[in-house]
Amino acid sequence: MLQIYNTLSRTKAPFKPAEPGRVRMYVCGMTVYDYCHLGHARMLVGFDVVQRWLRASGYAVDYVRNITDIDDKIIRRAVETGRRIGEVTEFFIDAMHADERALGVQPPDHEPRATQYVAEMLDIIGRLQDKGLAYQADDGDVNYAVRGFEGYGKLSGKSLDDLRAGERVAVGSAKRDPLDFVLWKSAKAEEPADTKWESPYGLGRPGWHIECSAMSKSLLGLPLDIHGGGPDLKFPHHENEIAQTEGAFGGVLANVWMHCGPLMVDADKMSKSLGNFRTIRQTIASGEQDGAEDGQPRAEYAANPREAEMLRFFIVRNHYRSPQNYTPDNLLDAQNALDRLYQTLANVAADDLGVDWDEAQAQAFKAAMDDDFNTSGAMAALFQLAGDANRGGSARTAGQLKALAGLLGLLQQDPQTYLRAPTRYKPGAADAARADALDDAAIDARIAARAAAKRDKDFAEADRIRAELREHGIELEDKPGGQTNWRRV
C-alpha cells in the first residue's frame, strides 16, 4: 500500500483518499512575474512524479495546480515595464509552460488563475467576517484575526507565542494584532486600474493566501486528499490557507500535506543577492541561454533535449523531501549517470511490451515508489536492470528499464539521438561548443573516411581519425558487421 509522509501529522501513513479510487490533489503553483528558477523546477518535477505514480497505481487523479496572476510583484513588474497586468502574466505563463514542456512535466488537469475566482474569495471573506474571524481595518484592508482560530500553527508547529510581533510578521498599525494577515487589500490611488475589483469593502484586490483557499475549494471540494507545494510555503501560506478554509467551512482543508525539500546552490539558498540565482532556461536552453537571440525576451525557447532530461534526472534521483544541492559537479554526475542508461538502450534494443510487474526489479521499483515516492530507491532498480541488460543483452530487460523509467518521465528519447546531442555539462564541453565544432555531417564524413582507411589497411590513418574525433568529444563504437556508432561525451 502507498504510504505518504504527512507534514501535518509529521508521520508516514497509508494513503486513504476520501473517495476510494479517486485522488483530489491541489498544488500551489507559480506567481507569474518572472522566469521559473531551479527551485520551481524541483517543485514542478516532484509533483509531476507524484501524479504520475498515483495514476500508474490505478487512481483517478484530479490534479489542480494554480497560477497566481495578481500580486504585488506582478504589479511592480507591470509598472516597471509599462505593460498591462494581463500582458505581464500571459508572457510569464507562456514561459512557464515552455519550461514545463522542456522538463517533461505533464500539465495539471486544471490550471485556475486567481483572477477568475475573486467572487469565490469574497464569499469566503464574508463567511469569515460573519464568524468574527475577519475585520476591516481603518486603512480599508480586510484582515484575518489569527488569534480567533484555535488551530493556528498546527502545520508549521509554531505557537502564537513563537510568532510574536516583529519576528516573522511586520507590525501594521491598522491591524488589531501584528500577527493578522490580509484577506483583501484596499486599492491605492497610484495602482493600475486593472488591479482593482469592486467588493463590499470597496475597491481592492485579494490577498495572496485567500486565492488558494477559493480555488481549491471551488474545484475539488473539501477535504482535499493531498495539498502540496514548495518548502517555503509551509509557513505562512499554507498555515494561513488552513486558517481561512477551516475557519470558513469547518472540517479540515486537506488530509495529507506534502512539501518538497529545498534546492540549494553550493550549500547556500538560491538568491539573486548572492549571485547564484539560475532560471530553468538558463540551465537547459540551446543557444542563447534566455532564448532571446535578438536581445528581446522570449517566452518560448528551444531546450537542449539532453540537458533538459539531465535536469529532470538530477531532480528525480533524489527523494522529493530531501535537501538537494545544485553544483556543477552534481550536474556532471547526473549527466554521466543518465548517459549510462541511454547507452544501455543504445546497445540493447528494448521491446515495447510495457512493465512486467512480476519481475524482481519492477517489484523493487514499486516498493520504493509506494514508500513515500522514494525515487532514489526506484532509480536503484533502474540501474540494476541496466546492468542486467548490458550483461545479458535481453530486449525484455531493456524494455523493463525503458517502461519503468517512463513512469518517472525518463528514457523516452531515441537513444542515438540523445547521445549525439551536445551538452555543456561535460569536460571539454566548451571546446565542443566552438564555432568550428564538428556537426553531424562532418562527423559522418570522418567516420566514412576512417572506414575507407581500414579497408585500405591504413590503420594509422584510421587511428588518427579516431583520435581527432575524440579530441572533439566524439566517441566511436565499432559494432559487428562493420557498422560504427558515435556519441558525444
Q: Are strands 181-186 and 204-206 parallel, antiparallel or unpaired?
A: antiparallel
User: What is the distance between the alpha carbons of residues 261 and 111, in angstroms, rounded to a whole number?
Assistant: 23
At residue 342, φ and ψ (nearest 5 deg) are -65, -35
3-state secondary structure 124-157: HHHHHHHCCCEEECCCCCEEECHHHCCCCCCCCC
Whether residue 167 has pLDDT greater than 60: no
Query: What does pLDDT average to over the chain?
Result: 92
- In this predicted structure, what is the pLDDT of residue 267? 79
User: What is the distance between the alpha carbons of residues 105 and 409, in angstroms, rounded to a whole number?
Assistant: 8
Q: What is the mean pLDDT of residues 120-128?
A: 98
Contact 276, 292 (CB under 8 A): no
User: What is the distance between the alpha carbons of residues 222 and 201, in angstroms, rounded to a whole number?
Assistant: 27
User: What is the distance between the alpha carbons of residues 336 and 100, in angstroms, rounded to a whole number?
Assistant: 23
Whether residue 139 has pLDDT greater than 50: yes
Binding residues: 28, 212, 237, 241, 272
- Strand-pairing partners, residue 264, are 269, 325
Residue 266: band (very low, low, confident or very high) from pLDDT cuts 50, 70, 90? confident
- For 202-256, the pLDDT digits (tens) are 999 999 999 999 999 999 999 999 999 999 999 999 999 999 999 999 999 999 9
- In this predicted structure, what is the pLDDT of residue 435? 46
- In this predicted structure, what is the pLDDT of residue 290? 55
DSSP 363-380: HHHHHHHHBTS-HHHHHH
Binding residues for ATP: 272
Q: Are strands 224-229 and 22-31 parallel, antiparallel or unpaired?
A: parallel
The residue ranking higher by pLDDT, 291 or 355, is 355
**Which one of 159-173, 266-280, 305-319 scores highest in mean pLDDT?**
305-319
- For 75-101, the pLDDT digits (tens) are 999 999 999 999 999 999 999 999 999
User: What is the distance between the alpha carbons of residues 160 and 199, in angstroms, rounded to a whole number?
Assistant: 31
Residue 288: band (very low, low, confident or very high) from pLDDT cuts 50, 70, 90? low
Q: What is the mean pLDDT of residues 17-39?
A: 97
- In this predicted structure, what is the pLDDT of residue 428? 62
Least confident of 213-222, 293-302, 322-331: 293-302
- For 31-43, the pLDDT digits (tens) are 999 999 999 999 9
Binding residues for Zn(2+): 28, 212, 237, 241
Residues of the chain above pLDDT 90, percent: 81
* Other CB atoms within 10 Å distance of the CB of residue 196: 16
